[in-house]
Amino acid sequence: MKIYILTDLEGVAGVARWDQTGRDTPGYPQAVRLMTEELRACVAGIQAVEPSGEIWVWDAHGCGSIDFERFPRGAKLINNGPVSPPAFLDETFDALFFLGQHAKAGTPGANLAHTYSSTTILWYRINGLELGEFGCRAALAGSFGVPTVFVSGDDKMMAEARALIPGIYGAQVKIGLGAQVALHLAPEDARDLIRDVAAEATAHYREVAPFVIAGPPYTQEIRTCGHIDAQTYLARGCEQVEAGTFIKRANRLQDLLI
């Protein structure tokens, strides 16, 4: 069995404020420790079911969120850096796991919700469907026939994931009470939950269908806000249709800005 784990930071138990999510922010070192321990629990759950499984982990948080010295044995890391879609994900994988994921921008009550940028993006839509980072990347996996079977994060992330993938296995490690406040499980309780749900997802991954968006072609709409440079999007093949709205068209999801 071959599993791809995509990690983020905002959906981790104990991480609730923006000053925990950037490399130079005061709470970042602790947040990295918390994420890495949740990753160790996730890998342990997978290995409890598939001891010889091949596990790839992509450190997908903007500035990284994994302490390599505590990286779990038996897994392999795609380090944080300039990685373009599909980030080495392909049809050879059996399942995709999302660890520490946050809800999409604008989700009421969600903790640290955003879509790719916490300051400049209001929403993404692909073929008319509004999607956050979870939905975009789950659809990308689905384009290779790979099911997304596990997600951890807050209750709003669980609802978003289950609306797209009803059979997904979810580890809810906190309840979002606002943009920068949540009700968290204790770290050890969160890790136990992640371990157990990851094991269950591994045992039943064949029962979860890939998330697929009809296409090609694909049309991506990006609505921006704040101080943005249109040239940034134009240089990446987008068309500007309004002051803050850009469209990109492609025949492969991996060629969109996801």
SS (H, E, C) 88-137: CCCCCCCEEEEEEECCCCCCCCCCCCCECECCCEEEEEECCEEECHHHHH
Q: Is 237 a member of any domain?
A: no
State the Rg of the chain over Cα.
Answer: 17
Q: Which tens digits make up the pLDDT trace of 37-78? A: 999 999 999 999 999 999 999 999 999 999 999 999 999 999
Q: Is 25 a member of any domain?
A: yes
Q: Which tens digits make up the pLDDT trace of 70-94? A: 999 999 999 999 999 999 999 999 9
CA distance readout (Å), 2 to 5, 54, 102, 107, 116:
10, 5, 24, 32, 27
Q: Which tens digits make up the pLDDT trace of 136-156? A: 999 999 999 999 999 999 999
Question: Residue 257: which pLDDT band, with cuts at 50, 70 and 90?
Answer: very high
pLDDT at site 227: 84
Q: Is 65 a member of any domain?
A: yes
Q: What average pLDDT does the segment 158-169 reach?
A: 98
Give the domain extent around 44: 2-104+132-212
Q: What's the token pair of residue 58? A: 């992509």
249: part of which helix (H) or strand (E)?
Answer: strand 245-250
Q: Is 239 a member of any domain?
A: no
- The CATH number of residue 62's host domain is 3.40.50.10780
Q: Is 228 a member of any domain?
A: no
Angstrom distance (rounded) from CA 124 to CA 105: 9
Domain count for the chain: 1
Question: Residue 163: which pLDDT band, with cuts at 50, 70 and 90?
Answer: very high
CA distance readout (Å), 207 to 94, 131, 151, 170, 204:
12, 23, 15, 14, 6
What is the pTM (predicted TM-score) of this model?
A: 0.96
Q: Establish whether the linkage from the previous residue to 217 is cis, with ω within 30° of 0.
A: yes
β-strand pairing of 218-224 with 121-126: antiparallel
Give percent above pLDDT 70 in the chain: 100
Given a contact cutoff of 8 angstroms between Cβ atoms, the answer to whether 86 and 118 are in contact is no
β-strand pairing of 169-178 with 148-154: parallel
Given a contact cutoff of 8 angstroms between Cβ atoms, the answer to whether 251 and 218 are in contact is yes
Q: Which tens digits make up the pLDDT trace of 176-216? A: 999 999 999 999 999 999 999 999 999 999 999 999 999 99
Q: Is 206 a member of any domain?
A: yes
Q: Which tens digits make up the pLDDT trace of 213-250? A: 999 999 999 999 988 899 999 999 999 999 999 999 99
Q: Is 126 a member of any domain?
A: no
Q: Is 27 a member of any domain?
A: yes
When the pLDDT of each residue in the chain is averaged and rounded to a whole number, the result is 97
Type of residue at 51: P
pLDDT at site 90: 98
Give percent above pLDDT 90 in the chain: 98
**Residue 108 pLDDT > 90, yes or no?**
yes
